[in-house]
Structures are given as structure tokens and as C-alpha cells.
Amino acid sequence: MKKLIIIISALTTMSCSENKEIVNSLENVQYMKSWIQEDINSGMIDSTIAEYYLHALNNTEDLLIEELTN
């Protein structure tokens, strides 16, 4: 919820097209994180490998949110 509030407030301060691209990228990262979690739950991916992927996606998500707020 906190991330959503940050995104919405940032949307009002940046150009519309740039915001849209960043928000779309952020949504894609969040989809990918959910897919990895589903793969972990179904046993399709080793949890150790999944943690590396999730770590990279979390870092990417943080960078995108930072870009929205700056």
C-alpha cells in the first residue's frame, strides 16, 4: 500500500509519458515476482535460485520507485 501511495504521488510531479513507462515497468516487475512465487509454490523452481531472482527484482522495483519519487 505504501508503494502505491508513493507511485500515485509521484505521478502528479513527473511528465505523463515518462510516468506511464516507469509505472508499466514497475507493474511488470511485480508480475514477475508473483510468477516466481507461484513457481516456488508449485516446485517448478529451486527456492535458492528463486531468491536470487526475487532479490534482483526487489532491487529493480526499489530503483523504479526511487525514479518516480525524484
Per-residue pLDDT of 13-63, as tens digits, reads 556 677 888 889 999 999 999 999 999 999 999 999 999 999 999 999 999
Q: How many residues does the chain have?
A: 70
Characterise 43 by phi-psi region: left (phi > 0), alpha (psi -120 to 50), beta (else). Answer: left
Q: What domain count does the chain have?
A: 1
Quick one: pLDDT at residue 68?
83
Query: How far is Cα 2 from Cα 45, in angstroms, rounded to an integer?
Result: 29
Quick one: pLDDT at residue 6?
58
* Percent of the chain that is helix, strand, coil (3-state, to 5): 85, 0, 15
Q: Is the pLDDT of residue 12 over 70?
A: no
Residue with cell 534482483: 56
Residue with cell 516487475: 29
Domain region containing 52? 2-69
